[in-house]
Amino acid sequence: MKVTGIVCVQECYGAVLNMEQKLLHVFDNRRQYFTDTKLVVSGVATLWHQTSDSKENRNGRALNAKSMRAVVTGGGGYFGYKLGCALAGAGASVVLYDIHKPIWEVPNGIVCIQLHREEIETVNIDGTRFIIDACKQRNIARLIYTSTVNVVFGGLPIEDGDEETVPYFPIEKHVDHYSRTKSIAEQMVLAANGTPLAGGGILHTCVLRPPGIYGPEEQRHLPRLAKNIERGLLSFKFGDPSAKMNWVHAENLVQAQILAAEALTPEKNYIASGQVYFINDGEKFNLFEWLTPLFERLGCSKPRIRIPTALVYVSAMIMEYLHLVLKPFVELSPLLTRNEVQNISTTHTFRIDKARTQLGYSPEKFAFADSVDHYIKTRPETPNHHLFLKVLLSFIISLQCCYLDCPHLHGTANRHLFNIEIVTPQELYLRN
């Protein structure tokens, strides 16, 4: 959506490192500086530059209406957009930088720069390196990287984990590229803490680790879940019935971002320098219970059938393979990925005591039902893909029947089904 006062420019850069020259051209024309950067696909790295006079803001006191300037790469996504709007609302000049323009109404005065989709492959890691180098060369003293809980979670249970006792999950054992690159990028940002700036001074960095993000205009997870529920593709359960996970509302994550920026100042004794923080709403839920409002608003029954997690895992692996094979011909998103199977089936919850104590983080109460209501009222009409998805569901059911008809497959570490070895994440971890 394009509204008055917004400039949307489509750019095609030959390489990630050429981003600097293009962005600096925007800064020169609009007198802007790096302030907030979200790595495309990978996450948010927030770079702060401001003078000493601060303006009070409900999400923190680290904003300066006159002097703060910002670039939000990944600003076309839900959280990047929300953070950009929060910064603009405090008076900052903001550039949104992404492979697509935001679909929501954007405040006047914000500039949108569009990157071509084929150029995002190296951004997760190379882009992080570029941003760190830009901080050093341009004397930007604060960098906040928004990572993910997946850097420590890889399918093994974690209950009320904290920053000091939960180690990184081995990079080579992650089942998805996203988690691997997030882990590498996070460690790069932390390693950059304390390095000197070209003009004098020190770079201070910290990391925020959120779980799944939700909110009334989130367009990645909620619409996909709703479509699959209506198509009857989530009529089954799997995993530990007591498995729980955390969620974070976009507004709470924005609050944590701004508080973290403040905690990297001399006024706060750089308390967040070199630190990591788990950020969530302070509550934990079983996914199927969490989705109850969505099932109810859609008029669908909650899933009652429980199927083996190993079966769902291998089905997800097959769907990921089909997605890659068919990608040149049709855009077909997997019903579930292996990473999502791990997240749903295994408890992984984290404490936010450190963020409360050091940052002053105080999450507001939000109801997922409100986000669901907003989605139901505003969702567009979508084409009907029931036939293909019913065939896919039939395939999954056939796999289950084969699984149930072969008792010797149950409970073994090495299972072979159609020449595919089915190994749970826990077994893979223990093997290595």
CA 190 to CA 202: how far, in whole Å? 13
**Is 1:103 a contact under the CB 8 Å cutoff?**
yes
CA 45 to CA 141: how far, in whole Å? 13
Taking alpha carbons only, the member of 130, 145, 121 closest to residue 44 is: 145
**Is 145:44 a contact under the CB 8 Å cutoff?**
yes
Taking alpha carbons only, the member of 162, 336, 158, 149 closest to residue 244 is: 158
Taking alpha carbons only, the member of 278, 242, 269, 302 closest to residue 146 is: 278
CA 29 to CA 16: how far, in whole Å? 21
DSSP category for residue 164: T
SS3 102: coil
Residue 275, CA distances (Å) to 73, 74, 186, 189, 270 in order: 23, 23, 11, 10, 10
CA 137 to CA 128: how far, in whole Å? 14
- Pairing relationship of beta strands 348-350 and 305-306 according to DSSP bridges: unpaired
First to last CA, the chain: 49
- Pairing relationship of beta strands 348-350 and 158-161 according to DSSP bridges: parallel
CA 394 to CA 401: how far, in whole Å? 10
Tokens of 283: 């509550």
Place of tokens 């997760």: 124
Return the bridge partners of 415, or none: 422
Tokens of 70: 């910002």
CA 53 to CA 62: how far, in whole Å? 9
Q: What are phi and psi of 92, to 5 degrees?
A: -75, 155
> Strand order in 93-98's β-sheet?
7-11, 111-115, 93-98, 69-73
Other residues' Cβ atoms within 10 Å of the Cβ of residue 379:
13
Whether 13 is catalytic is no
Place of tokens 């595919």: 420
Candidate list 13, 168, 178, 313, residue with the active-site label: 178
Residues that are catalytic: 178
